[in-house]
Amino acid sequence: MATPRASFYFNVRRRDHALCQLIDKALRQGLAIGVAADSEADVHALDLLLWEVPPTGFLPHCKVGHALADVTPVLLDHRLDRLPQRDVLFNWRHDIAADPQRFGRVIEIVARDDEIGREAARQRVAAYKRAGFTVDFTDMATR
């Protein structure tokens, strides 16, 4: 099995828009995607977001447990144990995903203007390294 990878996209202007852009990119690559949130309220907000961004499109998604979950490429949930194995996990939580090795790749998005979020991301970097992940970084300020 390949070494799991955690990719941090940092200096992001708008986390929500970056999430949609990166999900869209992963969809175009044919990947199965999971999005882990902190709460049911966060899942609901993500559900609305993926209907609205991009304004002229739609990112096919549903919540885990929905009747169409088996045929939907993007699954949302706040209970990590309910998220099935996916090619990539977008971690929209404040902590590291439990048992992150179930996913080939974990993606973290870090806002440039959120110092508390940046510090939490630094702690997650260390946690992923301790868990044996290869960690890479992409500075979105240069893109």
Q: Tens digits of per-residue pLDDT, 39-88?
A: 999 999 999 999 887 777 788 999 999 999 999 999 999 998 899 989 99
Domain limits at 110?
5-142
- From 63, 60, 12, select the one nearest 37 (Cα to Cα): 63
CATH (domain of 111)? 3.40.50.10110
| Alpha-carbon distances, residue 117 vs 65, 67, 70, 97, 142 (angstroms) | 30, 34, 33, 16, 20
Residue-wise pLDDT for 109-136, tens only, equals: 999 999 999 999 999 999 999 989 999 9
Q: Which two tokens stand for residue 38?
A: 């902190």
Is the bond leading into 100 cis (omega within 30 degrees of zero)?
no
Question: How many structural domains does the chain have?
Answer: 1
Check: CB of residue 123 under 8 Å from CB of residue 142: no
